[in-house]
């Protein structure tokens, strides 16, 4: 999987918030096999705890994908991205512009505006967006090379609320990396996303809030691999009626 020219093997991107301890986070990262971890600029503090967290990230061996979590305007997201580039030393940015405080649905107008500015400044933008095709087109026109449609509201664990829309995105953007971001609650949700042809899954809460985060991280990674293999195998379509799996012709006739 190529993301802005970088070859990535693991198709699981892992968030770093809400874990019960740094040690648990480190073990979850190892168990997941992820190569990309996301971190909010707000997670970095000037005190010792913030420095310890940054040290953990540096020693993880993963590529850092800073995000603009919590930003509610294009201007705020742009400023946060600029600060993140200085702090983390990367042009990669997961762009979030939140438009609704309850659902945390992206403000797609502010998102496109911020993406256009950041791309012009040399950022590699990973936009957290809805599953709307028109918005996706506008983001690509702004210079984004990746789209990150939500599966469900952030942290809800509801899975894929609109798989038909994600399927349509895959068909409409066949050559664009699509990463389902937000809403994944169980490994079966992650597998479903990959079976639809998504390129990767980004998740956080489902692992961080599990009883055993490291074990859940491993389960998610295996589900993503299974879903990817299933998509490549071209699974059968559902049928309206039963079809016998045993041939009817050639059966013995008993008198």
pLDDT per position as a tens digit, 137-150: 999 999 999 999 99
| Burial group, residue 92, by CB count within 10 angstroms (0-12, 13-18, 19+) | buried
Mean confidence (pLDDT) of the chain:
91
Tell me: is residue 204 an annotated ligand-binding position.
yes
Measured from the Cβ of residue 49, the count of other Cβ atoms closer than 10 Å reads 12
| DSSP notation for 135-149 | HHHHHHHTT-S-BEE
Query: Looking at the DSSP assignment, which residues form a beta bridge with residue 119?
Result: none
pLDDT at residue number 251: 61
Tell me: is residue 162 an annotated ligand-binding position.
no
Q: What CATH class does 2-233 carry?
A: alpha beta
**What is the band of 253 on the pLDDT scale with cuts at 50, 70, 90?**
low
CA distance linking residue 135 with residue 143, whole number of Å: 13
Tell me: is residue 183 an annotated ligand-binding position.
yes
pLDDT over 80 at 11, yes or no: yes
Tell me: is residue 205 an annotated ligand-binding position.
yes
pTM here is 0.90
pLDDT per position as a tens digit, 43-75: 454 444 566 777 888 788 899 999 999 899 999
Structural domain spans, the chain: 2-233
pLDDT per position as a tens digit, 99-151: 888 888 999 999 999 999 999 999 999 999 999 999 999 999 999 999 999 99
Which residue carries 């994944």 as its tokens? 184
Residue 94 bears catalytic tag: yes
Q: Find, among 171, 84, 160, the residue nearest to 136 by Cα.
A: 171
Say which of 94, 116, 138, 228 is annotated catalytic: 94
| Burial group, residue 94, by CB count within 10 angstroms (0-12, 13-18, 19+) | buried
pLDDT per position as a tens digit, 173-209: 999 999 999 999 999 999 999 999 999 999 999 999 9
């Amino acid at each position: 999987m190529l993301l802005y020219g970088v070859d990535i093997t693991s198709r699981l991107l892992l968030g770093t918030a809400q874990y019960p301890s740094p040690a648990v986070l480190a073990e979850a990262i190892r168990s997941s096999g992820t190569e990309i971890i996301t971190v909010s600029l707000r997670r970095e503090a000037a005190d010792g705890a913030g420095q310890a967290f940054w040290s953990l990230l540096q020693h993880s061996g993963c590529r850092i994908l800073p995000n603009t979590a919590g930003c509610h305007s294009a201007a705020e997201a742009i400023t946060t991205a600029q600060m993140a580039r200085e702090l983390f030393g990367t042009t990669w940015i997961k762009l979030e512009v939140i438009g609704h405080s309850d659902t945390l649905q992206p403000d797609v107008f502010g998102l496109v505006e911020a993406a256009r500015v950041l791309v012009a400044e040399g950022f590699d933008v990973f936009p957290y967006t809805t599953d709307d095709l028109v918005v996706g087109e506008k983001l690509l026109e702004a210079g984004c090379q990746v789209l990150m449609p939500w599966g469900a509201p952030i942290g809800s664990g509801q899975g894929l609320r609109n798989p038909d829309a994600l399927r349509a995105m895959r068909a409409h953007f066949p050559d664009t990396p699509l990463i389902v971001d937000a809403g994944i609650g169980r490994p079966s949700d992650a597998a479903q996303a990959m079976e639809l042809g998504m390129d990767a899954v980004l998740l956080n809460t489902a692992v961080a809030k599990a009883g055993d985060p490291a074990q859940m991280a491993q389960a998610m990674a295996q589900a993503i691999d299974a879903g990817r293999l299933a998509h490549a195998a071209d699974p059968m379509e559902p049928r309206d009626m039963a079809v016998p799996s045993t041939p009817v012709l050639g059966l013995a006739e008993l008198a």
